[in-house]
Amino acid sequence: MRHSRPIVCAAVALATASTVLATPAVAAPAGENYVALGDSYASGVGTREYFGDSGDCLRSPKAYPQLWADSHHVADFAFAACSGAVTDDVNTQQLGRLNAGTTLVTVSIGGNDIGFADVVTKCLLGTDAGCDSAVGGGEEKARKELPGKLDATYANIRRAAPNAKVVVIGYPRLNELGACSVPGYSERKRKRLNAGADLLAGVISERANAAGFTYADTRDAFAGHGVCSSNEWINGPSNPLVESFHPDIDGHAQAYLPTLNGIINRP
């Protein structure tokens, strides 16, 4: 009887060990396989800091795709966005980074298809009437040409990444109204550009929803921080010129990133 306690203890230990061995290990959750597509608003033009190997694509460590990848559990990240890209560039040069294992895609595209840079330049340097005409031309392209281009691009994304959550990142309004220190950049011009941005947002959100994608509207996130505000998150006329009218470091960290977080973390 003196040995009964050790025998019982040994039996309990053996049973416990058997239970532990029989319980399957719980694997750590797999990280996202994330691919970022799009144009300069996705690559991070405006942040003034770029990866040396990104060349003319000007991909930035301060751009929202890189910030999101750095702050989340990501198994693989492909940063394919490129400055100056139009929908054709996404289709021919960026979709190769997608596959059936891709779980998350972000894409910002369409602004260059309607002549973003040319429109802004004409508004900045020309007359109020010239700005109105330039924006009107961009809006015409947004209504008549862009929907078909977006539909084709979104369909190609879905085919290349059939299992991914796709988030379409919208463009902000560029400007704040009221007093402005930029010479010749009248309130009428700023209103007209903002109205064009609203029309573009409507077109992109409609086509994203039709594709079954999630649209991320960034306009409210940038509100109060456009060009001519006292706390700009979008660069005004800049040197070098390419930085102009693009979100800066704060725009990516304080507007884009929280907007994307709110969508990805949504139940």
Evaluate the CA torsion angle 235, 240, 243, 249 in order and state its sign.
negative
Q: Provide the strand spans (E) within 113-201.
A: 165-169
Which residue, among 121, 124, 123, 119, has the nearest Cα to 139 in the 3D structure? 119
Catalytic entry in 4, 40, 186, 238: 40
Catalytic entry in 43, 60, 246, 252: 246
The two structure tokens encoding residue 63: 């751009």
The two structure tokens encoding residue 252: 């990516």
The two structure tokens encoding residue 133: 């005409």
d(CA 213, CA 116): 24
43 has catalytic annotation: no
40 has catalytic annotation: yes
Token pair 């004409």 is at which residue? 122
Catalytic residues: 40, 246
